[in-house]
Structure 1
């Protein structure tokens, strides 16, 4: 697939998973739901790799790297984010998680000495201001009590784990480890890690036989994990973590559109301004640098005249 298609698929799917996750919280413990999600996702991914005859064998050293990949991206990251949502609302969670782009920029520089164009910083700033504006009515009256600070702290730590997983994925691909087989093993290791966490905590492995829980689990496993991660992790190596991670800023835009249809969300000035800034930031980040330079040069000439 082209980078544009991969990007659009990632944004649309992950932008809709915020609603699906709400149906996973409640009767079944978050840790157990994560085990179900990535256990099913890993099973589907392995089956697809086997069907396509993709290589699934890796060396012991590579498995250690895949273990770290799975624990950071599919284990610790989701464990912290699911638990964060028990302390803060989805608006604050979205804003906190959108900082993944900033952390990825720093980590790409640290891990791979990636030179980050100035347009990426500008686009990131526009996007972050846009997402804060979008959710301003929901966060303007938030009191930063102990629970709120705890939720934000869990979210930010989850972002650090997610970014580390992103860097490991890029390293995997630099070492010629195919994306889908590596992701299958990573999901399996993440699932096993969460299984251990749930057992240590004494969580009950119950199941909710309701349509909302089962349908959201299937959606999160197949679309939110297998398809979206396959697209996103491919983008990481193709266009860089600093650009691919702008998808995390675009997720709320999709969530707002879906919420307008499903939950009757009413648009106001904050919605229009916030979405406008997020889209502008998206265009700046993904634009060809040559276009921006020509635009700046043409403006400079106009001023001189």
Structure 2
């Protein structure tokens, strides 16, 4: 572990501006994307909506790399890593998310994705040697309990058939698959092959490979693309592509490298709270005592786990 990584892994890392600012910024942006996605899966297929999002994000990410004066060339093993990241993160994860929202509400999908802290921590330990401390495990359990209460409240508050026209079990399965795909991408990018190249360069190539996979999948399943004429659709796509992808992924993956995969995933818990807040303002979400208790538990678990002392990984 490098000196900067060791410093970032200390107990109060989240209080440091270099980590706290991107942590909160990513949560605020990603918390908004759940609401925006609901406008992307109406007249346009979910597969083509994902493809358009990353077709727009990919050149912007390459442009960011050029502005930062980063080399675009990567060794072969880094390209294999970028292909895997593109498949898991920018194709699999988002495809499953968009499809899940065809069957269950965006709030439920966000809550299920918030459970990513568990596979992130487990995979981080298995693949990167990142430890799972007792305090982190306890914090995770508390946060999961909070998310479960929010999920329970969402189920109780949703009238039968309201905003849910598909198969709830299928939607839940798709959301869990999205979570696992994202978790795999989170962990593998933090390994030696990923750290050997500039993060933005790696993300640019990953998005390119993911875009190619998305377009191939969309064409195979839905046929030729349909370009919507609705300006609101393209504004939403631009927000998801530029702000929700190009701005956030370099920040988030840097947090994964500094905090570890498990603790960085707690960003997802904060994203859930932000998403619920936006739902309160824009969708009339009502905060019941159960929801308030769930949000409180989730935040308490987040703080408990992030204050867990980190130890060097096994060599």
Which residue in the other structure is 2:189 paired with? 169
Structure-1 residue corresponding to 2:67: 51
Aligned length: 289
Gaps of 5+ in 1: 291-305
1:264 to 279, 284, 298: 284
2:175 to 128, 152, 155: 155
Task: Choose 94-103 or 206-215, whichever is displaced more.
Answer: 206-215
Structure 2 unmatched runs, 5+:
1-16, 311-315
Alignment partners' CA distance in 1, 2:140 and 2:46: 31
**Cα distance per residue 1:63-107 (max 9 Å; x no partner):** 112111111111111111211221222233223212211011110
Task: Give the equivalent residue in structure 1 for 2:14.
Answer: none
How far apart, CA to CA, are the structure 2 residues paired with 1:37 and 1:174? 24
> Which stretches of structure 1, 4 residues or more, deviate above 6 A after TM superposition?
none
Which of 153, 160, 164 is matched with 1:137 structurally?
A: 153
Per-residue displacement from partner, 1:204-229 (whole Å, max 9, x unpaired)? Answer: 41122323312211110111101111
Encode CA deviations 1:250-280: one digit per residue, 9 max, x unaligned.
Answer: 2121012112222232222122211111111
RMSD: 2.1
Does 81-90 or 102-111 show the bigger shift? 81-90
Instruction: Quote the residue 2:218 is aligned against.
Output: 198
- 8 Å CA contact 2:38–2:101 kept in 1: the answer is no
**Distance (Å, rounded) in 2 between the aligned partners of 1:288 and 1:117:** 7
Question: Normalising to structure 2: TM-score of the pair?
Answer: 0.86
Per-residue CA distance 1:14-41 (angstroms, 9 max, x = gap): 1111001001111111111111111111
Change (3 A) 1:172 1:186: farther
TM-score, length-scaled by structure 1: 0.88
d(CA) in 2 for partners of 1:176, 1:238: 15
Alignment of 1:1-305 (within 5 A): 2-140=18-156, 147-171=167-191, 175-287=195-307, 289=309
